[in-house]
Amino acid sequence: MEGRDTEPHYRNLPLSELVAWWRERWLLPRAERVDGWREWRREEIKSRLLMEQVRVTK
């Protein structure tokens, strides 16, 4: 994604290792920089997803 390679390099890693890498490399640094997620409420997320789903199916 940074343009250094023309082809992706695939690795056969267990899902747990991929999740751990993603968490450290992307999730935690982003959570420190972007704080809007702190205001999210579970009920609101579910409701918004359901509203979006209805819009897509129409």
Give which of 47, 49, 50, 28 is closest to 37, Cα–Cα. 28
Which pLDDT does position 48 carry in this prediction?
A: 80
pLDDT in tens, the chain (58 residues): 677 888 888 888 999 999 999 999 999 999 888 887 778 888 888 888 887 666 666 6
What is residue 42's predicted lDDT score, i.e. its pLDDT?
83
Provide the 10 A C-beta neighbour count for residue 26: 10
Q: Read off the pTM.
A: 0.50
**What is the residue extent of each domain of the chain?**
15-57
Residue 40 CA to its chain's centroid (Å): 15
